Amino acid sequence: MQNSALIFGITGQDGYYLRQICEETGVKVYGVSRTNGQWVRGDVSDAGFVDKLIDQLQCSYVFHFAAASTTRHDALYENHAAVATGTINILEACRRHTPYARVFLAGSALQFENNSAPINERGSFAATSAYVVARNYATYAARYYRRLGLQVYIGYFFHHDSPLRSENHLSMRIVRAVQRIHHGSDERVLVSNPSVIKEFNYAGDMMEAVWLIVNQESIHETVIGSGQGYAISDWVEICFGLVGKNCNTYLSVFDGDPIEFTSLVADPATLVSLGWKPKVGIHELAKMMMNTWPKEKY
């Protein structure tokens, strides 16, 4: 056993910020990515690969962030492979080779029944998408392996962003459009459901919560969110305000995207009881993301 961490999905924003935290605390980091780079190239759905790697590295922490991160039905098999099969591969390999390891699995706020009230980890599960089905399977697998003696933790993430987000995500898509408009574009910001309320958390804060969770033994499942909800239109207004423009001049609402929820906000009492609180609010997050646009684009 060594003081080290293995992160599946290290090239995503969560992997990036968790890596920073680990390294700052003296924990050596190994990462797995399907795109390689400086990391081990591999697929978490490959049981042989996962088993061999966990046996070889003997890490004291294992984190599973690999996923398609979309609720679209056409990602059914991709999500099942990364989330459901990947979870089983990690848990079984740890049971066999590193039973002392602390294992963290990324969950989602979307797993719970949502009646627009704040959601905590004691809520009932829903089955609203193929993505959620895969997440629910992973949760029950974690509970089973916990019965076998593994220290398995689940954090049910609410919405979080950072300057590392791509334009595949709505918050960054809005940021980039506002930046282009500020520099002379005549486009409009297109949003289908501006009144939907969700959280705008900073990924770095969320990873601080993950690190806190895996380094205690009393709580194994908790929602990870601030409990602070804002309408999507608030995010649009804040971003335009940072460049001195009125959002109503540039915002267009269109029909098309289905409404998955009208409000998705956490009840973070359990997480707060561990001593966590967010450091970055929605206004600071908007500034961070708005300030990262490469100037050479213009």
**pLDDT at res. 96:** 98
Assess whether pLDDT exceeds 50 at residue 147.
Answer: yes
**pLDDT at res. 36:** 67
Q: Can you tell me the mean pLDDT for 160-181?
A: 94
Assess whether pLDDT exceeds 90 at residue 75.
Answer: no
295 vs 108, residue with greater confidence: 108
Q: Can you tell me the mean pLDDT for 275-282?
A: 97
Q: pLDDT, tens digit, for every residue of 230-267?
A: 999 999 999 999 999 999 999 999 876 677 789 999 99
Other CB atoms within 10 A of residue 218 CB: 7
Q: Are 264 and 159 in contact (CB under 8 A)?
A: yes
Assess whether pLDDT exceeds 60 at residue 298.
Answer: no
Assess whether pLDDT exceeds 50 at residue 108.
Answer: yes
Q: How far apart are CA 31 and CA 204, in angstroms?
A: 18
**pLDDT at res. 272:** 97
Assess whether pLDDT exceeds 50 at residue 158.
Answer: yes
Distances (CA, A) of 282 to 29, 228, 238, 248: 30, 9, 9, 20
Q: How far apart are CA 194 and CA 261, in angstroms?
A: 12
Report residue 20 as tokens.
Answer: 């920073």
Q: How far apart are CA 12 and CA 298, in angstroms?
A: 27
Could you tell me which CATH class the domain 2-157 is placed in? Answer: alpha beta
Distances (CA, A) of 208 to 2, 25, 103, 277: 21, 12, 16, 9
**pLDDT at res. 294:** 55
Assess whether pLDDT exceeds 70 at residue 297.
Answer: no
**pLDDT at res. 78:** 87
Q: How far apart are CA 266 and CA 234, in angstroms?
A: 18
Q: Can you tell me the mean pLDDT for 112-126?
A: 96
Q: How far apart are CA 183 and CA 2, in angstroms?
A: 51
**pLDDT at res. 248:** 92
Domain ranges of the chain: 2-157, 166-199+228-264+279-297
Report the residue count for the chain: 298
Question: Where are the extended beta strands (E) located within 125-278?
Answer: 151-157, 160-161, 189-191, 197-199, 201-202, 221-224, 229-231, 251-253, 263-264
**pLDDT at res. 255:** 77
Q: How far apart are CA 211 and CA 110, in angstroms?
A: 22
Place of tokens 């540039």: 250
Maximal C-alpha separation, the chain: 60
Is the domain defined by 166-199+228-264+279-297 classed in CATH 3.90.25.10? yes
State what percent of residues in the chain have pLDDT above 90. Answer: 85
Q: Can you tell me the mean pLDDT for 76-81?
A: 88
The closest alpha carbon to 21, from 184, 211, 155, belongs to 211
CA triplet 199, 292, 224: central angle to 5 degrees? 25
Q: How far apart are CA 283 and CA 294, in angstroms?
A: 20
Q: How far apart are CA 262 and CA 264, in angstroms?
A: 7
Mean pLDDT score across all residues of the chain: 93
State what percent of residues in the chain have pLDDT above 70. Answer: 96
Torsion angle of the four alpha carbons 225, 226, 230, 232, in this order, in degrees rounded to the nearest 10: -40
**pLDDT at res. 100:** 97
Q: 119 by DSSP, 3-state: which? A: strand
**pLDDT at res. 120:** 98
Q: Can you tell me the mean pLDDT for 208-220?
A: 97
Assess whether pLDDT exceeds 90 at residue 38.
Answer: no
